[in-house]
Chain A
Amino acid sequence: MPSLGADMSEGKLLGWRVKEGDWVEKGQILAEIETQKAAVEMESFKSGQILCLRAKPQDVLPVGALIAEMELDEASCSSTASSSSSISSSPSKSRALEPEPEPEPEIPQRQTPVTPPEAKAPRPVRASPAAKRLAQEKKLDLSQIQGTGKDGVIELSDVERFTPTVTAPLTALRRKAIAQAMSRSKREIPHYYLRTDVRMDSVLKQLDQWNENRPVAQRILLSALWVKAVSDTLIAFPELNGFYENDQFVAQAPIHIGIVTALKEGGVMVPALLDTHEKSLVQLGAEFNDLIDRTRRQKLRTHELTEGTFTITNLGDLGVEEVIGVIFPPQVAILGIGRLHKAPFVTGDELSVGYRCRLTLSGDHRVTDGILGSRFLRRLTQNIERIQIND
């Protein structure tokens, strides 16, 4: 059972996506696991053959418990794995600039960047015509159903027996998980707060021009643009991109931006867009939309929930002018973004009206101070105002 967060002590196996004897590839989804916060898809860290499935669906097991056995193939064994997160010990994810070795997990998780949505091949689904008809009538997703027919074909009886995972409303357990994380943050992290206003007219004009002649589904949202600007700025401010653990700060080389995302049933999740510093705005735009979609359908991958190095909370759509964020430990900063609205600006003696957005940086005073935070906000403001949108 993998650890998917500092406050996770156990998880429930919702179902297997593989069978004993299956050959699996690196990155292939092995199972679906439910935690206090979400249902996530667990990936395989390496290629190999599934020997034995020890845990059964609906089993609740502690972090680190053996859930399956797998024989790794030779190529997989000989490859040098990047420093991986342990599935039996806690948190995310302290992947230092000089990684520390960690014990080999039973079912290792792969920590790799998310490929752009258009590059992924859909999981092939084979089902009998009767099974397809019934699944359509019941509005079931065939990819969720394990087939028991020859070569894994989904048969009618498989669909009849299938009980879809129901996303439960925000339960007391989930609220407790949020409460624990936020209480820990306020208890342990001496926050400081800085605020600045950004004039958005020039960047909106660019964004409008870019989106104007493209299908709506390919538009870049302003939120994705913020991710790009923040990511570019963090390259110059590594003190804000990392983890504070065991009384020390460790900066992280990759930049993984967590996005506070509201769930329809209440509560929030904070999935991360990975390696944002290496991606173009266009790529980030597509990945942002995909991430939000999968978050709401609870189809996230484990590493998307555990690897965030910095977080953005944007409540502008809900009308608030200012968001003073609470840092998610073990991260050391969070950026709040308020609503986009028309406001007066004074330049010299001239008064004009333009679009304004308020940014608030919450920083961990054990790691940084207001001077560095101010420089970050100033650079971020410059980056967003000068951002170039191109292929």
Chain B
Amino acid sequence: MTKEQIQEQIRFIFNQVAPEINFESLDLTRPLTDQAEIDSYDFLNILSHIEQRLGVRVPDAVIRDLPHLEALITYIEANASASPKEI
């Protein structure tokens, strides 16, 4: 899966879990918490969707130290399956 495909999947997931956040306005290279209000419960849902759609289970320890969404996309790219679910 390419980074662009992953980003598109994450955009879709955000729209499902946190529709109040305008994903297109996010700077993926800045900390998410600096740009949007998202709590641990919402993020758990996002990770659950990532696991279901992309087949990647992101550990808590990885999430805790991720600086921004770009880093998450990079992690997923390195661990994703070849066939994500269609949007």
Contact = CB atoms under 8 A, between A and B. Distances in A.
25 contacts: A204-B60, A204-B61, A204-B64, A207-B60, A208-B60, A208-B61, A212-B59, A215-B48, A216-B47, A216-B48, A216-B50, A216-B51, A217-B44, A217-B48, A219-B44, A219-B60, A221-B41, A262-B39, A264-B20, A289-B44, A317-B38, A317-B40, A318-B33, A318-B37, A340-B64
Contacts of A211: 59-60
Given A207-B60, A317-B38, 16 more contacts: A208-B59, A208-B60, A208-B61, A211-B60, A216-B44, A216-B48, A217-B44, A217-B48, A221-B44, A222-B40, A223-B40, A317-B39, A318-B33, A318-B39, A319-B33, A340-B64
B39 A216 contact: no
Interface string B51-71: 100000111110010000000
A270 interface: no
Contacts of B44: 216-217, 219, 221, 289
Nearest to A293: B41
Interface string A319-358: 1000000000000000000001000000000000000000
Contacts of B37: 262, 318
A367 B64 CA distance: 39
Chain A interface residue bracket vs B: 20 to 34
Nearest to B59: A212
A262 B36 CA distance: 14
Interface residues of B, number: 18
Nearest to A288: B41
Given A216-B47, A216-B48, A264-B20, A221 B59 contact: no
Contacts of B61: 204, 208
Contacts of B47: 216
Most buried by A among B33, B57, B60: B60
A264 B45 CA distance: 15
Contacts of B20: 264
